Amino acid sequence: MAVLNKIRQRSLFLILIIALALFSFVLTDLFRNSDALFGASQDVVATVNGQNINRNEFMAKVENVQRQLGPNATSTTAMNRVYDQEVRRAVMTTQFEELGLSVEEDQMRDLLQQNFASYPEFQNEAGLFDENKLTEFVANLKEISPEPAVLGNFQIRYSDWVNNESNIAVSAQERTYYNMVKAGVNATLNEAEVDYKLENYTRDLQYVQVPYSTISDSLVEVSKGDIKAFMNKNKKKYEVEASRDIRFVQFKEEPSLDDENNLKAEFDQFTNGKVVFEDGKNDTIQAFSRVKAENMEDYINFTADSDVDYVDTYVKKSALPTAVADSIYTMNVGQVYGPYRDNGMMKLTKLVAERQMPDSAKVRHILIPYMGASSAGPDVTQTEAQARKTADSVLAIVKATPSKFPELVTALSSDQGSVDNGGEYDFHPSTQMVKPFSDFEFQNNVGDIDVVQTQFGFHIIEILDQKGSSRAVKVATIARKIEPSAETIDNVFTEASKFEMALQDGEFQEAANAKDFKVRPVNSIKVLDENIPGLGSQRPIVRWAFEEGTKVGDYKRFSVPGGGYAVVQVTKITKKGLMEPENASASALAEIRKEKKAEMIREKISGSTIEEVGKAEGARINTAAAVNMKNPTLSGAGQEPKVVGVAFGLNEGETSSLIEGKSGVFMVKVNKIDEAAGLDNYQSVANRLSTTRVSAAQTKVYNALKETADIEDNRATFY
């Protein structure tokens, strides 16, 4: 009771202590998260010229782009594409605002008509664009949002439409902006005259060259201080982004020899047949060799549960697996070959049938597409049934009047690859066309004509000619992927875990050597990199390597695509700024040595004429005729712009002082000055210069604007 009384008496003191403790905790968290302390938004992906790119909107666009790119595209690929688009938009918007460029309502209506006039949804009975229908469509789209509506061959949401309108407006502003820029980069007549003179005013020269290579590199001492000084003089060349060097050992979940042999043993049930007892009933798996051709598809796809479906077609020897082609091709009908390994699978192959087939065929065709068919354009409006009816009508016409075939190709066929040739495909093998098309042309006779359906639509095909004839075979193959067993996967996990534990007390390379594991280094990983050579897409590794708490020597285990693990260690942390002198030495050494060699050569040359220098240095006096400033090349020495520039500043008969060129120290004498007669009019030269400038203006202007923009990139925080 006495204790409780004391606590009550000192309650104010206790409250103060608790408050201070909580305040200390909050401060610690704030300092760990400096963005929160200094008010930086954690929902801003980037800031461009003061404009924030909001995280939620950005992520929505990334998801949309990723859907468009398909399943093979990674989120980082989609993110980078959206980031580039958003930065471009922000950079250009700054210019539009400064210039007062905008898209007014009347102009926007015209732009929408230009972009959507061809859509049937926005056309009246006469096939003309109807603005009221577009307005009604957008209003309905807004009403049903976020549900999509059909437009052409795709579905669109109201948010997509708003983004689309915005993109159209920005594109219009960009066109106006770049047209203004292009109008200002045209060459003047004075510039044209200068360009003409650079190309047509020439000098005949004599020169003597003392190459830098005459002094051995070993005689030139380059210190670390020299490299630092050179880097400071050429900072832009040696600035680097933040990067990380890592090394890793990979533990792949690959099937073992036991896994492969066990799978091979499973094929015995297909080779010899088997009685299976399930659910109180006996079920017989028929031997592969006894299965009839008409039952082959069910047996392969369902009974054997093959990882590769049965394809009912004839093939030539060249289409069989290379390693076993001879063995399979020479079998008799009904024989079975295998099991054998091919392309990561265990296979068992039966020769089902054989026949003689042409080696190549020449055909012509008319392709009638329908809505939903592969490669069908937005202008295709026929249903499948309607397209079939059209194809049957065309077939009747060309059978009755074959001469109309080319005319109908031009009028109806959607296969742009053959329209210009009257629908013809010259001699080709059976593997070139899709299966239904190929089956018709290689399993029928010259002159045959019929309608064949493929994923592209209905083809009216006529066989024009066939060449050669050789044996073709129809094969059925049971294929199963060779995959690691649960035991193998467990063993891989155990190996990775043991190696990771060994690093607690040992050095990475030594621990790997002890187990004969291969260590793979990867250098200069950037903060937004995604792929790591040897491991594929590994964004988690990159994020970890750049985390604030990750230090040189830290290691961690990661799961890798395709199964397995990688134990990764950070070996170097490079901060943004000038690269380390050791890394710069590879490129800087040559330049520094060149400067030092130039000083050494200057110090030992005392002659004031090219003859004196040549005699003293044992160097040959060279000549270079018709040298111009536009292409400053000396025959025998290559491009030497500084030497040629000095020469053009000399009078005829005058000799230069020593010049430090790209390949050595030069002295040059002007023997002859030839200044071509001027043109009466330099307009043609100005036009040529203008064309060159205009074609490069758009890219160069944006790159320059982006380089000078104030961009704060926070992507690494979110991805």
Burial class (CB in 10 A: 0-12, 13-18, 19+), 414: middle
Q: Where are the domains of the chain?
A: 2-36, 198-230+582-675, 243-254+484-577, 257-356, 360-467
pLDDT above 70 (res 347): yes
Torsion sign over Cα 596, 601, 606, 607: negative
Q: How confident is the model at residue 595 (pLDDT cuts 50, 70, 90)?
A: very high
pLDDT above 50 (res 31): no
Determine the CATH number of domain 243-254+484-577: 3.10.50
Determine the CATH number of domain 198-230+582-675: 3.10.50
Whole-angstrom distance, CA of residue 121 vs CA of residue 133? 7
Higher model confidence: residue 500 or residue 14? Answer: 500
**Per-residue model confidence (pLDDT) at position 28:** 47
Whole-angstrom distance, CA of residue 63 vs CA of residue 333? 53
Residues 495 and 552: beta-carbon distance below 8 Å: no
Task: Judge whether 243-254+484-577 and 360-467 match in fold.
Answer: yes
pLDDT above 60 (res 22): no
Candidates 3.40.50.9100, 3.20.20.80, 3.10.50.40, 3.10.20.740; CATH matching 360-467:
3.10.50.40
**Per-residue model confidence (pLDDT) at position 34:** 43
What residue type is assigned to position 302 of the chain?
Answer: F
Please work out, in degrees rounded to the nearest 5, the angle formed at the alpha carbon of residue 232 by the alpha carbons of 229 and 238. 115
Q: Report the Cα–Cα distance between both ends of the chain, in Å, rounded.
A: 58
Is the model's pTM score more than 0.85? Answer: no
Element (H, E) at 712: strand 711-713
**Tens of pLDDT, residues 494-504:** 999 999 999 99
**Tens of pLDDT, residues 452-495:** 999 999 999 999 999 999 999 999 999 999 999 999 999 999 99
Beta bridge partners, 696, equal: none
**Per-residue model confidence (pLDDT) at position 281:** 59
Element (H, E) at 342: strand 336-342
**Tens of pLDDT, residues 223-249:** 888 989 998 888 888 888 899 999 999
